[in-house]
Amino acid sequence: MALWKPDPSFYPSARMAIQAPPERLAYVVTFDPKTALGKSTAGKPDSLAVIDVDSSSSSCGRIVGRIELGAGNELHHFGWNACSAALCPYAPHPHVERRYFIIPGLRSSRIFIVDTKPDPRHPALVRTIEPQEVASRTGYSRPHTVHCGPDAIYMNALGAPNGEGPGGVFLLDHDSFDVLGRWEVDRGPQYLAYDFWWHLGHDAAITSEWGTPSMVENGVNPDLLLGGRYGHAIHIWDLRKRRHLQTLDLGAEQQMVLELRPSHDPTRTYGFVGVVVSTKDLSASVWTWFRDEKGWHIRKTIEVPAEPADPNQLPPALKPFKAVPPLITDINLSLDDRFLYVSCWGTGEFQQYDVSDPFQPKLTGSIRLGGITSRAPHAKGGELNGGPQMVELSRDGRRVYLTNSLYASWDEQFYPEGLRGWMTKIDCNPNGGIKVDDGFFVPFEGERPHQVRLEGGDSSSDSFCYP
């Protein structure tokens, strides 16, 4: 819907977005593991759940709305149709509205368009894009991540319809949601795909690597992992010309280079990427990419070691190693570019780092929830399994929302007893330090929650063109 003036949830800069009103609602995608894994056809449907997060509300911490979106899709990452990028000086659509969620099914390859208005507690399905349309117009399958860009809705996909590669990025029209086509003009050596982001002020895009659908859909393949076959590089692109420029290889022992978090300040050219595991010692890590007068570079700036463990407490996949790997599966960066949040899904640790100097992060906070062996409890939820996984941060940097499911087949490998879904909240001190909100805990019975989006935007929804 066109507006006479820009959407009030759009902000020219991250500095202004920090001053936005606090979120009152959180949106969470959920899926039923039995139908996702083909073990049942009678499980719960996938859904978009609406959570009241207004601390002054009598229903805070409860599900207050839900829309069901069919079974077996495995809803995963999702995003808004439009955001602050619409205010960029070259954007052709400054009057679009942050209204629709673009929700891909990672297993089904369907894409659901959900309208959050007029009643944000009761969203409505307005269109379903079938996998055949995605495949015929792009050559891609298994859509994964959504970002609202200045000129279109950007999505990426893990691979091709046959389950192999390459994966890449494609575009949807902002108004009709039609699939426009493949983004890449010259992909260079890029084959594996996972996340993508950009530095809008420098016409640079960044992509990361996981694996093709055949490499990931049935769980971690030990032969591929130990052989260094999963993704271990990021790629630099010319955003406007859609051409591959450079590969930054972290080394084959750095397996599964996933979440990208560029600086929110558009005058800067650095960012952070998480690495799930090192085959050398089971550690996990965060790397900082940057550009200087000599070009693009990347270096390791955070390393989290594995923790020794009794093999009797470990799932079969980890028993030979006698240790719990941290498994960094998500990271998030505050809008002021000061604090980086790191989810260690294996150990159950959630960390906060001061990254005012992006090359010298300082650990400023740590809490534990769940974990493969620790099962660290929540005051309201009791002993937990799973661990901090998807992490979303409020625009003012004061609240973090966590969910605990990674991916159905991977959940089964690392938590074979069955992962019990939950969402919780972490309170953040603006000067550093984090604390679990003991009163906020949302259980998901018989289903698993994944990504969280916040009303009006959050710290990973928008990109900005002004400092």
By three-state DSSP, how is residue 135 classified?
helix
CA distances from 243 to 57, 106, 186, 192, 237 (A): 49, 26, 5, 16, 6
HSE (side-chain half, CA atoms, 13 Å) at 222: 7
CA distances from 36 to 31, 408, 447 (A): 7, 7, 10
Longest Cα–Cα distance in the chain: 63
CA distances from 92 to 153, 155, 195, 293, 361 (A): 13, 19, 25, 32, 38
Query: Taking Cα atoms as reference points, which of 204, 216, 313, 197 lies closest to residue 255?
Result: 216
Please identify which residue in the block is written with the tokens 């300082």.
Answer: 362
Assigned token pair, 255: 């397996």
pLDDT at position 38: 81
Q: Are 256 and 210 in contact (CB under 8 A)?
A: yes
In sequence order, which ranges of 65-192 are alpha helices (DSSP H)? 131-138
pLDDT at position 1: 53
- Class of domain 14-454 (CATH, top level): mainly beta
φ/ψ bin of 181: left (φ > 0), alpha (ψ from -120 to 50), beta (otherwise)? left
pLDDT at position 37: 85
Query: Taking Cα atoms as reference points, which of 400, 87, 460, 453 lies closest to residue 271?
Result: 460
Residues with Cβ within 8 Å of 9's Cβ and at least 6 positions away in sequence, in order, are 20, 83, 98, 456, 457
Domain ranges within the chain, ordered by starting residue: 14-454
Query: Taking Cα atoms as reference points, which of 201, 208, 267, 272 lies closest to residue 234?
Result: 208
- pLDDT tens, residue by residue, 287-314: 999 999 999 999 999 999 999 999 999 9
Phi, then psi, of 284 in degrees rounded to 5: -120, 165
Helices (H) and strands (E) in the chain, counts: 6, 30
- pLDDT tens, residue by residue, 2-56: 557 789 999 999 999 999 999 999 999 999 998 888 887 777 899 999 999 999 9
Phi, then psi, of 422 in degrees rounded to 5: -155, 160
**Alpha-carbon distance 168 to 171, whole Å?**
11
Q: Are 170 and 140 in contact (CB under 8 A)?
A: yes
Residues with Cβ within 8 Å of 231's Cβ and at least 6 positions away in sequence, in order, are 192, 194, 208, 209, 210, 211, 255, 256, 257
In this structure, which amino acid lies at residue 129? Answer: I
* Residue numbers in the chain where pLDDT is lower than 50: none
